[in-house]
Amino acid sequence: MRFDVITLFPELFAPFVSSGVTRRAYESGHVQLRLWNPRDYSEGNYRRVDDRPFGGGPGMVMMAEPLALCLEAIRAERAGGEATPAPVVLFSPIGQALNHSAVAGWAASSGAVLVCGRYEGVDQRFIDAHVDCQISLGDFVLSGGEIAAMALIDAVTRLQPGVLNDEGSHQFDSFNPAIDGLLDCPYYTRPETWRGQAVPAQMLSGHHADIERWRREQRLSLTQALRPALLAAARAAGGLTPADEAFLAGLAGTTGSPP
């Protein structure tokens, strides 16, 4: 898997690729990362990559030509290295919100070209000519696409086989189909009592069936309280068992809210 990132600030990625899971992924070759600065493809002494918007208004707009030339260089290098052609992704507030399903899809792909916008945005003509999809992290605005690119790469990287120390650990992440798309449960470690708070007795019982049932019930109750739409989706998909429904009914009887 290879990601080519078009960014005016490639130095932002140095700490990202030098620690933790991402470092392990890059050093092992599970994920390749190439950084490209569009200033290297701009003309003139000042290597200009932005200009004022037509029609007036605040801010600057990233120019289409340096981005297009940078993209051409990426495609030429990928073709020369026999890399699979990659879709071009722009991080933008108007994009589709990134979720687990989308991350899993990217994790099964061969990678992408990620365009990190800056300023007021990117010349629409470049978007119309070259961008295949747009992605948003949520209903807020960042100063640039670099943080969004790191978020996508990190989420995709941890799903690659051999990257995590425990192969199965991501199977129990929140939103994962392995737990029916629910939120994950709380976790505890030593000591058994910390500042007056004890670990739940089920976690110390050694009874695996009881432990798994407790965890399932915690996932159900947390999801009902915090993200009820996820619970509704799990129910619609047939992911809830009669035992799950009985537990939720009991919660409803306690709280007075519907399951």
Q: Is the C-alpha dihedral spanning 223, 228, 234, 239 positive or negative?
A: positive
The SS3 call for residue 62 is: strand
* Active-site position among 39, 65, 75, 173: 173
Nearest to 10 by CA among 36, 31, 46: 36
Q: DSSP labels for 184-196?
A: PPP---S-SEETT
* Active-site position among 2, 34, 93, 227: 93
The SS3 call for residue 50 is: strand
- Integer Cα distance of 147 and 135 in angstroms: 12
- Integer Cα distance of 25 and 124 in angstroms: 34
Distances (CA, A) of 2 to 37, 95, 157, 252: 17, 22, 11, 48
The answer to whether residue 217 is catalytic is no
- Integer Cα distance of 179 and 100 in angstroms: 12
- Integer Cα distance of 61 and 120 in angstroms: 5
DSSP label of 53: P
Q: Retrieve residue 209's tokens.
A: 């069936």
The answer to whether residue 34 is catalytic is no
Burial grade of 148 (CB within 10 A; 0-12, 13-18, 19 or more): buried
The answer to whether residue 93 is catalytic is yes
* Active-site position among 2, 34, 39, 120: 120
CA angle 99, 104, 105 (to 5 degrees): 100
User: In sequence order, which residues have a C-beta less than 8 Å from that of residue 252 and are 6 or more positions away?
Assistant: 258, 259
The answer to whether residue 72 is catalytic is no
* Active-site position among 78, 118, 158, 216: 158
Q: Which residues are catalytic?
A: 93, 120, 158, 173
